[in-house]
Structure 1
Amino acid sequence: MSTDIHTLQTKLRDGATSRANVIAEAEQLAQTPAANAVFLHTTFDAAAQVARAADAASLAGKPLHPLAGLPVSVKDLFNIAGEATHAGSPVRSDAAAATADATVVRRLRDSGAALVGRTNMTEFAFSGVGINPHFGTPVNPADAQVARIPGGSSSGAAVSVALGLAVAGLGSDTGGSIRIPAALCGLAGFKPTARRVPLDGAFPLSYTLDTACAMARTVHDCVLVDSVIADEAVIPAIKAAAGIRLAIPRQYLLDDLDPVVARAFDRALGRLSAAGVQIEHIDLPELSELPAINAAGGFTAAEAYAIHRHALATRREQYDPRVASRIDRGASMGAADYVDLMRARADWIARVAARIGGFDAVACPTVPMVAPPIAPLVADDALFFRTNALLLRNTSAFNFLDGCSISLPCHQPDELPVGLMLSHGALRDAQLLGTAIALESIVKPAA
């Protein structure tokens, strides 16, 4: 079932499969070694009931949402009525079962989606690598020879879609947690403007930066899921490639690219230029200010410390030490420092918005590397933290911008996955998604 929603809908209309069969195939795949550590809890029996009901409704001629009866995974960050939300951590092993669905989960249910289970994640969503020492690390399906990271923090969500266990994976993005695993696993991942999608019923990492969103196989599939979970659906503003202007910042985002990423990015730009896309290299010096602005840990460390400080005082031994050390950075940020950070961000956003306002999107590689092997990162703290910082560098810039951003696959079939990231400012989602739809077929991997 490694296919997009549109293709599945065609097969359903033609009678080539049924929603119940799709769920049954996903359940079988979930029991294979490749799916180890993808789910923390599965609900395939309930999903099968939803799928059978959707099949019956379809046979009766009733109109159905495109997601009806199709498998969707949910990151272990969102409340599901009757289940405990652990956020990928044993710290919450005694958490009470939720009494209601998170709003985004309820909206997926209302669309008819068949929820197949809770996906694994980086503990408390605080890393872009995807390693979880408590519940195991899902292995990136892109390489059959080497066990590579899936990216994080929505690690299980990405692998669930990449393996065909789900047509979409509900996740979150605070500094890149949808786009990083999407890029490393060869998927599309869309981070909307944060305020468009409600976060009630989601365990927080950063009140300022958290975004509820999803990854899927295509931009159209991402738009479809976004239209369900957002407060108001956007209609992508699609225009011809020849009318699109892309900005390529000279600073920061193109530093330290590994050869595979550099080659894929250059090839994508060549294809876009040949299709008539106007590509302009611009100065965006504000990007180079980000390390200094966030030197004390930024919003995420400060807000995570506020959330976790009591649990850290009594249950520190249950935390992943690498996560705990990042949370601890927030302990030293005082109220005045936090206010300074808010003011610096507002000023930074205004200056960046003025520079990119005339473009349809800012383009860069989603992450500067292909997925590295898991084992060395587990063994070496210094390597882990260097890798994590590099994975988050490009994506987190657009969380800080309070913007919208999407990652598209742009690698060749014989290469490890590489993502092309298109981004813009707040509430430019319709423009950005229209641009992504127009460019997806130009840069996508050849069959």
Structure 2
Amino acid sequence: MDALRSGATTATDEIERAIALAASPACDKAFLHTRFEAARQDAAAAAGLPLAGLAVSVKDLFDVEGEVTAAGSTVLADAPPAQADCPAVARLRAAGAAILGRTNMSEFAFSGVGTNPHFGTPANPADPAVARIPGGSSSGAAVSVASGAAFIGLGSDTGGSIRIPAALCGIVGFKNTARLTSTEGAVPLSTTLDTACAMTRSVRDAVLAHEILTGEPVRRDGRPLSGWRLAVATSTMLDALEPGVARAFQRALDALRAAGARIDEIALAPIRDLGSIQPRGGFSAAESYAWHRALLADKGAGYDPRVKARIEFGADMRAHEYIALHQARRQWIARVGEALAGYDAVLSPTVPITAVPIAQVAPGAERDAEFFRVNAQLLRNTSIVNMLDGCALSLPCHAPGELPVGLMAWHEALHDDEVLAIGARIEEALAPVTASA
């Protein structure tokens, strides 16, 4: 963006660079459909607009006019093309985005791992030696951004599907308060938890993406780190951290304290109760089953068996259990809010592990147990924020030569501007640690 504004490069040059990267081995399996010639036209017409023709990728669950929205599946391949852009795509296009294409994803967004048995799994760009998972469900979006092909990767986050791949691929992912962005024109996973949001390569770019997607300016706050009161949640979120994650997170906390941050450790005990209030798969299973029921009856054999099993698990939730879940969630949110009184943000590892090899969790019944184990680990920390109806930013905190690790700054609903402002200060403080990571 700076190079464009200064005249050091042009929109034409930038879109050609993006197209070359999108077509390169670095983005193998990241895109399910590309529209390079249309992107060139988008870029040429975007002078003076906020995105100025920079490349944007779109997760396969969002409607783009004239294209089939298949949600990473084959069972929707014969669906009619979308008659209009969904609001998220329309806002990006109006801001001058050059839409590169549709990105790969976990089928119907139902996994934090990022594997896809129909179209293959894009490899995480962070490790050229080992093909590792990119994280999901917004897998292709993360790879498009981490490889440099896309300036913004539009995706969704229901239990961590923006922040998990951002953490594993070493980029920035912001999950805003769900109500701030429209999910109209997107295939739903959970109508209660779904959030339309994006991945970028810096917090500043995340702010720009958020402003475009919400249509509202982010309130800038230039306070230094010492001007904010931060907490580290010790309940659950620090359990069983992989050694590399624990080292990177502690090193980040040390760097933040050295930069003046005031960080308290708090128990945040209500987190421990979250599992007990989510029977039969919680919102995602029940609400996805409601959407998929007829499609499963007609085309169930075409689903990823792992996804099908998770959706069908929601068939047994009764109406009174669903209503009670909403009530229990409201009560739980209030308890967490009381525990966070006086704090501006909470810091946690985004995920407790680094990216595992794709071969370890590749499609196949013999690897199902390992897949679900890894999936549960990946979702553990991030899904807490979704149940809180909160907002969260994941940004890299690993050092050069290490597998990517994400630091998550988060809070309750409608604290988006504060979390982004704190994230910018964190990014600055961690720059000496993460330089060239």
Alignment TM-score > 0.5, same fold: yes
Query: For residues 237 and 259 of structure 1, do their structure 2 counterparts lie closer, same or farther at Cα, with a shift above 3 Å needed?
Result: same
Counterpart selection for 2:21 from 29, 37, 42: 29
Give me the whole-angstrom Cα distance separating, in 2, the residues matched to 1:293 and 1:208: 15
1:44 corresponds to 2:36: yes
Amino acid across the alignment from 1:205: L
- 1:270 maps to 254
> Tell me, what secondary structure is at the counterpart of 2:230?
strand
Give me the whole-angstrom Cα distance separating, in 1, the residues matched to 2:381 and 2:57: 26
Give me the whole-angstrom Cα distance separating, in 2, the residues matched to 1:352 and 1:446: 35
User: 1:172-213, CA deviations, whole angstroms, 9 ceiling, x for partnerless residues?
Assistant: 000000000000000010000000001111111100000000
Amino acid across the alignment from 1:123: E
Amino acid across the alignment from 2:95: S
Counterpart selection for 1:427 from 402, 414, 420: 414
> Tell me, what secondary structure is at the counterpart of 1:296?
helix
Instruction: Answer yes or no: is the 8 Å Cα contact 1:238–1:437 preserved in 2.
Output: no
Structure 1 residue ranges (4+ consecutive) displaced by more than 6 angstroms after TM superposition: none
My pick for the range that moved more, 189-198 or 30-39, is: 30-39
> Tell me, what secondary structure is at the counterpart of 1:413?
coil
- 1:407 maps to 394
- 1:11 maps to 3
> Tell me, what secondary structure is at the counterpart of 1:297?
helix
| Pairwise CA distance, 1:238 | 3.5
> Tell me, what secondary structure is at the counterpart of 2:329?
helix
Amino acid across the alignment from 1:411: H
| Pairwise CA distance, 1:234 | 2.4
- 2:112 maps to 128
Give me the whole-angstrom Cα distance separating, in 1, the residues matched to 2:359 and 2:33: 25
Instruction: Answer yes or no: is the 8 Å Cα contact 1:37–1:137 preserved in 2.
Output: yes
1:164 corresponds to 2:148: yes
- 1:4 maps to none
Give me the whole-angstrom Cα distance separating, in 2, the residues matched to 1:403 and 1:13: 34
Give me the whole-angstrom Cα distance separating, in 1, the residues matched to 2:322 and 2:5: 55
1:216 corresponds to 2:205: no
Instruction: Answer yes or no: is the 8 Å Cα contact 1:238–1:435 preserved in 2.
Output: no
| Pairwise CA distance, 1:284 | 1.0
- 1:227 maps to 211
Give me the whole-angstrom Cα distance separating, in 1, the residues matched to 2:391 and 2:138: 18
| Pairwise CA distance, 1:296 | 1.6
Q: TM-score, normalised by structure 2?
A: 0.97
Q: How many residues align?
A: 431
| Pairwise CA distance, 1:231 | 4.3
Q: TM-score, normalised by structure 1?
A: 0.95
Give me the whole-angstrom Cα distance separating, in 2, the residues matched to 1:197 and 1:401: 17
- 1:292 maps to 276
- 2:405 maps to 418
Give me the whole-angstrom Cα distance separating, in 1, the residues matched to 2:4 and 2:84: 32
My pick for the range that moved more, 302-311 or 64-73, is: 64-73
| Pairwise CA distance, 1:357 | 2.5
- 2:161 maps to 177
Give me the whole-angstrom Cα distance separating, in 1, the residues matched to 2:291 and 2:309: 14
- 2:226 maps to 242
Give me the whole-angstrom Cα distance separating, in 2, the residues matched to 1:195 and 1:208: 10
Give me the whole-angstrom Cα distance separating, in 1, the residues matched to 2:350 and 2:248: 11
Structure 2 residues without counterparts, runs of 5 or longer: none
> Tell me, what secondary structure is at the counterpart of 1:86?
coil
User: 1:3-52, CA deviations, whole angstroms, 9 ceiling, x for partnerless residues?
Assistant: xxxxxx33224433211111111212222222111101111101111222
Amino acid across the alignment from 1:260: G
User: 1:208-234, CA deviations, whole angstroms, 9 ceiling, x for partnerless residues?
Assistant: 000000000011101101101114332
Counterpart selection for 1:383 from 370, 379, 384: 370
Q: How does 1:339-378 map to 2 (within 5 A)?
A: 339-378=323-362
Give me the whole-angstrom Cα distance separating, in 2, the residues matched to 1:193 and 1:236: 17
- 2:12 maps to 20
Q: CA RMSD in A?
A: 1.1
> Tell me, what secondary structure is at the counterpart of 1:27?
helix
Counterpart selection for 1:437 from 393, 402, 424: 424
1:310 corresponds to 2:291: no
Give me the whole-angstrom Cα distance separating, in 2, the residues matched to 1:101 and 1:30: 22
Amino acid across the alignment from 1:43: R
Could you tell me the percent identity over the aligned residues? 58
Counterpart selection for 2:73 from 67, 72, 89: 89
| Pairwise CA distance, 1:295 | 3.6
User: 1:128-180, CA deviations, whole angstroms, 9 ceiling, x for partnerless residues?
Assistant: 00000001111000001000000000000000001111101000000000000
My pick for the range that moved more, 429-438 or 120-129, is: 429-438
- 1:198 maps to 182
Instruction: Answer yes or no: is the 8 Å Cα contact 1:246–1:363 preserved in 2.
Output: yes
| Pairwise CA distance, 1:315 | 0.9
Give me the whole-angstrom Cα distance separating, in 2, the residues matched to 1:238 and 1:431: 10
Give me the whole-angstrom Cα distance separating, in 2, the residues matched to 1:32 and 1:70: 18
User: 1:74-114, CA deviations, whole angstroms, 9 ceiling, x for partnerless residues?
Assistant: 10011001111000000101110010100011111111111
Instruction: Answer yes or no: is the 8 Å Cα contact 1:130–1:149 preserved in 2.
Output: yes
| Pairwise CA distance, 1:65 | 2.8
Give me the whole-angstrom Cα distance separating, in 1, the residues matched to 2:306 and 2:213: 32
1:446 corresponds to 2:435: yes
> Tell me, what secondary structure is at the counterpart of 1:91?
coil
Give me the whole-angstrom Cα distance separating, in 1, the residues matched to 2:392 and 2:402: 24
Q: How does 1:40-79 map to 2 (within 5 A)?
A: 40-54=32-46, 57=47, 64-79=48-63
- 1:60 maps to none
> Tell me, what secondary structure is at the counterpart of 2:75?
helix
Amino acid across the alignment from 1:403: G
